[in-house]
């Protein structure tokens, strides 16, 4: 380890400041462009020791867990709380612009749909056993040390109000020395709490204590351990434009309702008068069930529990157009060009790896309208390159901030052919 003074010239894709060093770039978390810092350097990583000249964009972080002196390093949940809002929004939009330009896509990028504090309805915490009992929180960056969370400015008020209940549920699990995860989703009927990675499973005494504890608490819809439902006082439900979906334990959902609705509004608007639509990587029906208000839908998803939840919701909701739910691994078996015939539009929202194989087939198709939703600007840019090579024209790019004070950004891209 060495100590040196550096000047930050830009922010990287992970939110770290970048300085030039004699051996290449040095990455310094919680720094900002234009700052002069004294850092402790190990390899190509730097830790702020002191700030000689702060950037005008540096602000006081709103969360006491973020770190001492506003330079982070305590709680690993956020990376950019020290950055003024206008500069932060420009950084997030810039991530999308840079990813597109790297692929030769010089297209206009819309203004960032902003996130606000208190919107995060889905969180994944680390739980670890300590001498004083089990605690939950986020890992300190670069360590396995869990920082207990007492309050959190990104989290919805409903989840914050139930922190004591979540602590009680954690304490009901005896737990060993190994850490495990607790996924919390705010639903219409209460919190859906899913513990995963609990080694050795659930002992009978733990099951009983967990059930008894849950029944004493208010606002807990369901508790599951390693995918098994332990107790369900209320079926957890998510509202997708009037279609009520009961997600499987720990299911993927959009992290904030506000971002979900912004993405869905863009999808629905660009579909126009489309009558037959495929929703690929459909999950539990975030888009498919909304689209079914106006068009027939083929919903394709590889996760069996997710597609069953989507199908059950479609069958139970009145006023929808026909929804065909199909389980299929689109990475290994993408819908082929001939299978896409007859569709007016395709929506796809893949994991971070993107939809490369599927885009090659879409590029050969005659589908007039494509809407790509992505949480990874780099893989989206790759996929858009494939589609534009196949004759599609990008008509809009909209970045959406769903993960406040993180370097992650959602994007909705719309494309047309013909």
Catalytic residues: 375
Domains of the chain in sequence order:
2-58 (2.40.50.140), 92-116+257-416 (3.40.50.150), 122-238 (2.40.50.1070)
Q: How far apart are CA 198 and CA 224, in angstroms?
A: 11
pLDDT tens digit sequence for 356-379: 999 999 999 999 999 999 999 999
pLDDT in tens, 115-160: 999 999 999 999 988 777 778 899 888 788 888 888 999 999 999 9
Q: CB atoms < 10 A from the CB of 111, how many? A: 9
Report the pLDDT value the prediction gives residue 174, as an integer from 0 to 100.
Answer: 67
What is residue 175's predicted lDDT score, i.e. its pLDDT?
64
349 is in an annotated binding site: yes
pLDDT for 22 equals 87
Q: How many other β-carbons are positioned within 10 Å of the β-carbon of residue 149?
A: 20
Q: What is the pLDDT of residue 3?
A: 86
> Does the annotation list 281 as a binding residue?
yes
SS (H, E, C) 144-195: CCEEECCCCCCECHHHHHCHHHHHHHHHHCCCCCCCEEEEEEEECCEEEEEE
Q: What share of the chain is helix, strand, coil (3-state, %, to 5)?
A: 25, 30, 45
Q: State residue 130's pLDDT score.
A: 77
pLDDT beneath 50: ranges in the chain: none
pLDDT at site 70: 67
pTM for the full predicted model: 0.94
pLDDT at residue 126 in the model: 93
């Amino acid at each position: 380890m060495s100590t040196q003074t550096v000047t930050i010239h830009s922010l990287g894709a992970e939110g770290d400041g970048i300085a030039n060093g004699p051996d290449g770039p040095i990455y310094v978390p919680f720094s900002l462009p234009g700052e002069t810092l004294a850092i402790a350097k190990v390899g190509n990583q730097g830790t702020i020791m002191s700030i000689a000249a702060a950037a005008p964009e540096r602000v006081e972080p709103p969360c006491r867990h973020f770190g001492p002196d506003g330079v982070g390093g305590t709680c690993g949940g956020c990376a950019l709380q020290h950055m003024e809002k206008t500069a932060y929004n420009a950084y997030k939009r810039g991530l999308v612009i840079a990813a597109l330009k790297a692929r030769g896509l010089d297209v206009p990028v819309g203004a960032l749909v902003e996130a606000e504090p208190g919107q995060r309805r889905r969180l994944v915490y680390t739980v670890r056993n300590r001498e004083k009992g089990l605690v939950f929180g986020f890992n300190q960056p670069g360590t396995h040390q869990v920082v207990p969370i007492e309050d959190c400015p990104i989290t919805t008020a409903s989840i914050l109000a139930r922190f004591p209940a979540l602590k009680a549920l954690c304490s009901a699990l005896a737990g060993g020395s190994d850490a495990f995860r607790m996924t919390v989703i705010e639903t219409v009927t209460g919190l859906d709490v899913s513990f995963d990675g609990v080694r050795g499973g659930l002992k009978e005494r733990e099951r009983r204590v967990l059930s008894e504890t849950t029944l004493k608490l208010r606002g807990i819809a369901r508790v599951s351990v390693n995918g098994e439902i332990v107790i369900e006082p209320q079926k957890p439900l998510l509202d997708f434009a009037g279609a009520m979906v009961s997600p499987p334990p720990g299911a993927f959902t959009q992290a904030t309702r506000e971002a979900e609705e912004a993405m869905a509004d863009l999808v629905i608007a660009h579909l126009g008068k489309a009558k037959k639509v495929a929703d690929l990587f459909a999950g539990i029906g975030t888009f498919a069930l909304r689209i079914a208000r106006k068009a027939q839908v083929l919903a394709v998803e590889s996760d069996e529990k997710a597609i069953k939840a989507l199908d059950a919701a479609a069958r139970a909701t009145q006023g929808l157009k026909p929804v065909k739910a199909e389980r299929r691994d689109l990475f290994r078996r993408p819908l082929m060009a001939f299978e896409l015939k007859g569709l007016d539009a395709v929506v796809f929202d893949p994991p971070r790896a993107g939809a490369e194989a599927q885009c090659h087939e879409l590029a050969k198709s005659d589908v007039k309208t494509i809407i790509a939703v992505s949480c990874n600007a780099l893989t989206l840019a790759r996929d858009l390159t494939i589609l534009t090579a196949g004759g599609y024209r990008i008509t809009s790019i909209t970045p959406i901030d769903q993960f406040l004070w993180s370097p992650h950004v959602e994007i909705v891209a719309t494309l047309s052919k013909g």
